[in-house]
A and B are shown apart, each in its own frame.
Chain A
């Protein structure tokens, strides 16, 4: 009996998934899972346990969260963070937009100024806060000198509880302005030039062109800038830590600094993890809210 060899079945059809392709995403996936997904779930798990650096103790349910919301310092840090986001995000969006509008030209001056305004973004937080501490030094700082020219005394930005967060916000705005400006510039440059020509033929004034043509054309980017900045500014840490150490009297202590203090200075990892989850939810909610609002107004 002769065996008829069956035709060899192709190992995969032209449209069936080829798992070899997964190799291309594997390196990224590995780091994504180990450095982002795993810590996220571990953090959630940790927040339901009493844990320190040496051991993860017993399951405590929502105990850490209850402690957290009874902690006045935590509640103050949440308030501080919201205040900081409120100070920085709209300002960054508006100044970024203004700069982009002013520098959206193909001139040498505009190019130089664009680079100049973006320059601060490449600095590390250490340098940025150093510069701004020099600005705010009482008596000898830049601010004190400028006030001195007019015979006035500069307000004590860093030590005045009413001004300290504003000082941190100023340093942050100076540091972070480059990204919104660049995002707005790229959006502006994608508006077709002939629309402006049509508007000129339609007798539109400069103001009318701005409000009726330019701004509606970049509203998606506006939403994007707001979301990015909310996510970024909710994570305030370096500037507050280096400029004020959270003081005076905790008025510049943001959530991340609270987490740092709790988890890595008081070694109460469970409580720190719970605070982290609260921050995660806050950022998620803020970004989602902004996304949904901008979606609702979105035109076809």
Chain B
């Protein structure tokens, strides 16, 4: 019940609009892969192409070494959980789950056993004779997953399945999906625009943007060593701080960059890229507050977001640039307070004009 999926040089257009361009990706068996990207980046289209719901214009898709992009959806050995769940409204939960198995003439006792197993695993045994209209959003979600599980597919495809759930249920279902993957050890592909879902669920994240893959990597690799400025900005909350670099010269740690007339940050990035660097990126947790005059730049707190365990201070520097810094949850500072910022340059990233990232040696996880 696990598949290796190989996507080779796949392209796709809708009319004159190109949505995927020459995209290649290899997914080993048992892996939980998340396609992460903003709306319209082509992630759902790619998933639907694997499912067979969209045709493949160029390139090929293989499952376990066998080319499947010409096969109808039902014969690809995959099961999909839709964003809207797509349950058959006139059928009971049990009929929803058995429909696919009856269509391929699975023996009745096998069907009954699989439905009973899935119902037990997903705790939907008491709902089997109800119709989708009588279920809550969370229950429908479980039934949709159950319908996929009973098919014992080679791969599970999830198309933003948590986006219709409320925040609490989303967190719970996320944990349950992770447990489901641990139990079934199936290949799972999960499409989302929510980076928290991606970070918490994925073995590997495929970050997509504008028709192509920006980066493929383990969640912390994506977070710590983003390949491009887009990835750096898209992954992580709050968003990474970006400062324009006005000058760069070799420094004590590596490359020392100036971001405006008064702010200079020593990074650990090798100095040989001095000529390429256009901007610096640094996450809020690498920026801390200090008393005025005791940091690299002074400014005023514009907004203070209290998150409980920590606070996020949005500081307007004297030269007008905005930087978000991490501060203790118990901070006595308030909006309008004058503070200084300390930048941990070893955790800073540099980007060239095209968005390519350069990391310091110590930025590695």
What is A's interface to B at a CB cutoff of 8 Å? 192, 194-195, 197-205, 208, 212-213, 216-217, 299-300
Once A197-B53, A212-B99, A300-B133 are accepted as A-B contacts, the answer to whether A204 and B86 lie under 8 Å apart by CB is: no
B86 and A192 within 8 A (CB): yes
Instruction: Tell me, in angstroms, the Cα distance from A300 to B89 when the chains sit together.
Output: 9
Residue B331 interfacial (CB < 8 Å):
no
A213 and B134 within 8 A (CB): no
Closest CB in chain A relative to B5 CB, distance in Å: 16
Instruction: Tell me, in angstroms, the Cα distance from A198 to B79 when the chains sit together.
Output: 9
Instruction: Tell me, in angstroms, the Cα distance from A208 to B74 when the chains sit together.
Output: 13
Residue B230 interfacial (CB < 8 Å):
no
Closest CB in chain B relative to A184 CB, distance in Å: 17
Interface residues on B, range: 20 to 34
A201 and B74 within 8 A (CB): yes
Instruction: Tell me, in angstroms, the Cα distance from A198 to B157 when the chains sit together.
Output: 12
What is B's interface to A at a CB cutoff of 8 Å? 51-53, 72-75, 78-80, 82, 84, 86-91, 99-100, 103-104, 131, 133-134, 147
Q: For A208, give the chain B residue with the smallest CB separation.
A: B103
A201 and B99 within 8 A (CB): no
- Where chain A touches its partner, the secondary structure class is helix
Instruction: Tell me, in angstroms, the Cα distance from A213 to B147 when the chains sit together.
Output: 16
Instruction: Tell me, in angstroms, the Cα distance from A216 to B75 when the chains sit together.
Output: 25
A195 and B133 within 8 A (CB): no
For A205, the chain B residues whose CB sits under 8 A away are 103
Closest CB in chain B relative to A276 CB, distance in Å: 40
Number of A-B residue pairs having CB atoms within 8 Å of each other in the complex? 63
For A216, the chain B residues whose CB sits under 8 A away are 90
Instruction: Tell me, in angstroms, the Cα distance from A204 to B104 when the chains sit together.
Output: 8
A197 and B82 within 8 A (CB): yes
A200 and B74 within 8 A (CB): yes
| CB < 8 Å neighbour of B90 from A198, A200, A217 | A217
Closest CB in chain B relative to A190 CB, distance in Å: 12
A202 and B53 within 8 A (CB): no
For A208, the chain B residues whose CB sits under 8 A away are 103
Instruction: Tell me, in angstroms, the Cα distance from A200 to B87 when the chains sit together.
Output: 13
Once A197-B82, A204-B74 are accepted as A-B contacts, the answer to whether A300 and B134 lie under 8 Å apart by CB is: yes
Closest CB in chain B relative to A146 CB, distance in Å: 42
B90 and A202 within 8 A (CB): no
B89 and A217 within 8 A (CB): yes
Closest CB in chain A relative to B141 CB, distance in Å: 14
Instruction: Tell me, in angstroms, the Cα distance from A200 to B75 when the chains sit together.
Output: 9
For B51, the chain A residues whose CB sits under 8 A away are 197, 201
| CB < 8 Å neighbour of A201 from B79, B87, B88 | B79
Q: For A202, give the chain B residue with the smallest CB separation.
A: B100
Instruction: Tell me, in angstroms, the Cα distance from A212 to B98 when the chains sit together.
Output: 12
B86 and A197 within 8 A (CB): yes
Once A195-B86, A197-B86, A300-B134 are accepted as A-B contacts, the answer to whether A202 and B78 lie under 8 Å apart by CB is: no
Once A213-B88, A217-B90 are accepted as A-B contacts, the answer to whether A202 and B99 lie under 8 Å apart by CB is: yes
